[in-house]
Amino acid sequence: MPSQDMLLAGLVGRGIQRSRTPEMHMAEAAAHGMRSVYQIIDFDVFSGREPDLAEILSAAEMTGFNGLNVTYPFKIQVVPLLDALSANARAVGSVNTVVFRDGRRYGHNTDLWGFSESFRHGMEGAVRTKALLIGAGGAGVAVAHALADRGVENLLIIDADRTRASSLATQLKTNRPGMATAVIDCLDSGSVAGVDGVVNATPIGMAKAPGSPFPADLLDPAMWVADIVYFPLETQLLKDARKIGCRVLPGSGMAIFQASRSFELLTGRPADPERLKATFESFVPPGGVQ
């Protein structure tokens, strides 16, 4: 089992200097009377030779880490480096939490549950007949399964890599056969006709990748709009949507709920989502309030 009195962990990704994940995990550890060290391992700021993902995992494991959280763009790349996958991780083929235990690496996906819980809390009563998912990468795969679990009947998928979008559509037919899927190649009034909601599961909107993945002129006040990006909290997509009266769901909810499940996997102790939320909302990231 993971250590019961010490949390030694890290977040691996690119462009993550403003992540609130370290603060959430360390504050939660303190609330449990645990010591903690949580490192940001940002591939965008390495000087000299950039290590590969396998080297990072090996170094963390040898150092005695409880495990690692994994974010963009490594959630799919990390899978072949692991010894075993949880049912969720196996189903979606994507991992965002790696636990080191007894000389083995266990991969978990808490994004699926995290987005599902965020949607349940923030989109109660929303019409879910037809939704559009932008992005079929590691996070998008988890979000797609969560949307199915939350009652979306028909999912349109678009990704810069059409093969990846098609692969996700095929995967959903096996894992969530009750959901109809279709891959689209462009965003225009015809392709998004009748869409009840839009979810951005790409990095577009992050501080390092500003902009919106969805044309503002295609938004309709009747739509709900969700984003998984949480730095900045108010992405351009959410600004555009809020401006015309759409119901919006920021990425903070997914971040908080996935961290709750991840903390339990890393430490063996249950986390308090409300406490995590308080830490998330009070944290001022490098560079000031977002």
Distances (CA, A) of 234 to 145, 164, 274: 24, 28, 21
Mapping DSSP to helix (H, G, I), strand (E, B) and coil, where does residue 266 land?
helix
Query: Residue ranges of the alpha helices (H) in 123-161?
Result: 138-149
Catalytic site residue from 75, 208, 239, 243: 75
Our CA dihedral for 65, 68, 73, 79, rounded to 10 degrees, sits at 90
Closest alpha carbon to 150 in 199, 93, 213, 221: 199
239 part of the active site:
no
Q: In what order do the strands lie in the sheet with 130-134?
A: 180-183, 154-158, 130-134, 197-200, 224-227, 247-249
Give which of 108, 72, 23 is closest to 202, Cα–Cα.
72
Residues labelled as active-site residues:
75
